[in-house]
């Protein structure tokens, strides 16, 4: 299995632009998570899905952030408009979703908003 695949690996954009981060979970996994990692705040859970349905989006910082999971093999995290304080590494992770089994993380997207 290829693991959790995120794209792009790096994104540099100007303030005000729309940013779309993509994630392909491991086939057969029913839960998908988006995290943000910064030096100041550490690793934060933004939102997670079970069976393509958003379960908890309480970690989404603002309305500028939105996430979708149109099918079991694809999810997007969109920021519009982007701001410099959104600069961080964004991780996607997936799990079987049956309980507290292990998470599988992607390699992350390094986002820089200038």
Which residues contact other proteins (rule: CB under 8 A)? 4, 31, 33, 42-43, 45, 48, 50, 55-56, 91, 93, 95, 97, 99-103, 105-108
Half-sphere exposure of 104 (CA within 13 A, CB side): 19
Rounded to a whole number of angstroms, the minimum distance from the CB of residue 72 to other proteins is 16
Return the number of other C-beta atoms located less than 10 Å from residue 96's C-beta.
14
DSSP state of 71: E
Least distance in Å: CB of 38 to other proteins? 11
State in angstroms the smallest separation of the CB of 45 from other proteins: 6
Cβ proximity to other proteins, 59 vs 81, nearer residue: 59
- For other proteins, which is the closer residue by CB, 81 or 97? 97
Report the C-alpha dihedral over residues 43, 57, 86, 13, rounded to 10 degrees: 120
Residue 32 burial by CB count (10 A; 0-12/13-18/19+): exposed, middle or buried? buried
Beta carbon nearer to other proteins, 71 or 100 = 100
């Amino acid at each position: 299995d290829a693991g959790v695949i995120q794209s792009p690996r790096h994104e540099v954009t100007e303030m005000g632009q729309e940013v779309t981060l993509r994630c392909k979970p491991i086939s057969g996994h029913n839960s998908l998570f988006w995290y943000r990692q910064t030096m100041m705040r550490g690793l934060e859970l933004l939102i997670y899905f079970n069976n393509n349905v958003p379960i908890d989006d309480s970690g989404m910082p603002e309305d500028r952030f939105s996430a979708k999971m149109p099918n079991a093999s694809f999810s997007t995290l969109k920021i519009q408009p982007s701001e410099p304080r959104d600069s961080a590494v964004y991780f996607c992770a997936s799990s079987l979703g049956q309980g507290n089994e292990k998470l599988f993380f992607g390699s992350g997207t390094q986002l820089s908003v200038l």
